[in-house]
Amino acid sequence: MKKLILLFSVGFAFFMAKAQEPIFTEYFETASIGGDLEGYNDWHVSPKSSEANGVSPKIAEGALFYTGYAGSDIGNVAVLDSAVGATSSTQRISTKIVTFGNDTLKAVVGEKIYAACIANISSHSYRSYRDFFTYEGSKTSSMTRGRIFAKVSTDGSELFIAVTKNSSSEFVESTSIPGLMLYPDVNHLFVLVYETIDGSNNDKITLYIDPDLTKTESEQTNKLVAIDTQSDYSASAGLGINLRQRGIGAQVGGIRVGKSWDAVLLGETNVLNIPNINSPIWTNGKNIMTRQGGTIKVFNMAGAELISTQTDGCLSTNLTKGLYIIRFKGNDGTTVISKISLN
């Protein structure tokens, strides 16, 4: 009996911890359409003078969609202008320090930081690699690590992505991934991972491109690992994220930052069939259960929408046994995206 009680207690504590895992989100939901990104929600221009040229990114109406992603189809977008930063005299970094309540994001040995965003990169972007999304480790200057670069082919028909830890030349490119073809003017999901490793100048940067969210992190194949050796973030540095204008035109939205793949990509309540007190979605046979009424959409794992309807808390379905993606918007305005299993 003691063993049973212990197992229950450990399991309950685990699911409570998962449900309470802090997530930073930036969906630009309340930003003024057509207004500046900087000045909204503590976004600010870089204090480094050489990165404070040009003009702030603007906010545009409308959200970006990526099947199964917890930050999909929510809020508005920040618009990076391809004309800004084409030369060094106009390049600009816009910074947001990441906080979870009163706690600033920090690099901890043995942990990973995940920053995900949906980006739609314009075919009018620069034809050589320029970075547009990075981590930031300084509040008084700029210390970028984990730099996502993009460029567009000469004829504007193909998109190429690269990553470095901080180098502007030692690119690990998307062309190294067999069979991966990327295109501009299409929504792409990027997941930038900073892994803190004990020692000096050895922290690891990994970039996942258009991950298959029906698979685990370890099963992903569209990934790049930076190879350049650079200094690491200190344990005391309060970290943030940058949107950088250097000639890459893009709409960026659905930003989520946290400490685990499942929490950032799938939503912190992504628990299969566990009707605990913190789960807003669970299943009972072929019924999809929610803790309040609202609008529910059901997608198969290929991304096809199967159901779009209102629910009062119990949606009866005739769906076949298998895994599904649920997008639920409650009457209180809360949006949850979760993966469920129907029996």
Predicted confidence (pLDDT) per residue in 134-175, tens digit: 999 999 999 999 999 999 999 999 999 999 999 999 999 999
pLDDT of residue 19: 43
Half-sphere exposure for 211 (CA within 13 Å, toward CB): 28
Residue 205, pLDDT above cutoff 70: yes
Sheet of strand 287-290: strand arrangement? 281-284, 287-290, 314-316
- In degrees and rounded to multiples of 5, residue 6 shows phi and psi of -65, -45
Comparison of pLDDT for 17 and 27, the residue scoring more: 27
The DSSP line for 28-86 is -TTSPTTSBSTTSTT-EE-SSGGGB-S-PPEEES-----TT-TTTT-S-EEEE-TTTTS
Predicted confidence (pLDDT) per residue in 62-97, tens digit: 999 999 899 999 999 999 999 999 999 999 999 999
How many other CB atoms are there within 10 angstroms of residue 173's CB atom?
14
How many other CB atoms are there within 10 angstroms of residue 61's CB atom?
11
pLDDT of residue 94: 98
How many other CB atoms are there within 10 angstroms of residue 76's CB atom?
20
Confidence band for 4, pLDDT divided at 50, 70 and 90: very low
C-beta of residue 317 within 8 angstroms of C-beta of residue 343: no
Comparison of pLDDT for 273 and 212, the residue scoring more: 212
> How does the average pLDDT of the chain come out, rounded?
89
Comparison of pLDDT for 21 and 203, the residue scoring more: 203
C-beta of residue 338 within 8 angstroms of C-beta of residue 323: no
Residue 23, pLDDT above cutoff 90: no
pLDDT of residue 103: 87
Residue 11, pLDDT above cutoff 80: no
For the chain, give me the number of helices (H) and strands (E)? 2, 24
Predicted confidence (pLDDT) per residue in 210-228, tens digit: 999 988 899 999 999 999 9
Q: Which of 144-148, 178-182, 187-191, 326-330 has the lowest mean pLDDT?
A: 326-330
pLDDT of residue 71: 93
Distance between CA atoms of residues 197 and 110, nearest Å: 6
C-beta of residue 115 within 8 angstroms of C-beta of residue 261: no
* Contacts of 330 by beta carbon, 8 Å cutoff, 6+ apart: 280, 290, 291, 292, 293, 294, 336
C-beta of residue 93 within 8 angstroms of C-beta of residue 53: no
Comparison of pLDDT for 100 and 11, the residue scoring more: 100
